[in-house]
Structure 1
Amino acid sequence: MIQVIQAQNVGLAYLEERFNLQLAENDAFFTEWLEKLSEITVLEKQSLDKVKFHFLRLVKHPPLSEETVKLVVLSPILSLAGFYDEPFLIRSEQSIEISADDEGEVVRGRINILIIQEQLWLLVIESKKPSFSVLGAIPQALTYMLANPNPKKPVFGLVTNGSHFTFLKLAQEIINQYAMSDEFTLLKRENELYKVLSVLKKLSEILS
Structure 2
Amino acid sequence: MIAEDSVLLRVGLVKVLETVGFEVPAAVGDAETLLAAVEEHRPQVVVVDVRMPPGFTDEGVRAALMIRRQWPEVAVLLLSQFVEERYAADLLSTNTSGVGYLLKQRVANVDDFVDALQRVADGGTALDPEVVAQLLLRKDNDPLRRLTPREREVLTLMAEGRSNTAIAEALVISDSAVAKHINSIFTKLDLPPADATHRRVLAVLRYLEVSP
| TM class, shorter-length | 0.3 to 0.5
In terms of fraction of residues, the more helix-rich structure is 2
Normalised by the length of structure 2, the TM-score is 0.35
Q: Which has the higher contact order (CA 8 A, sep 6+)?
A: 1
In terms of fraction of residues, the more strand-rich structure is 1
Normalised by the length of structure 1, the TM-score is 0.35
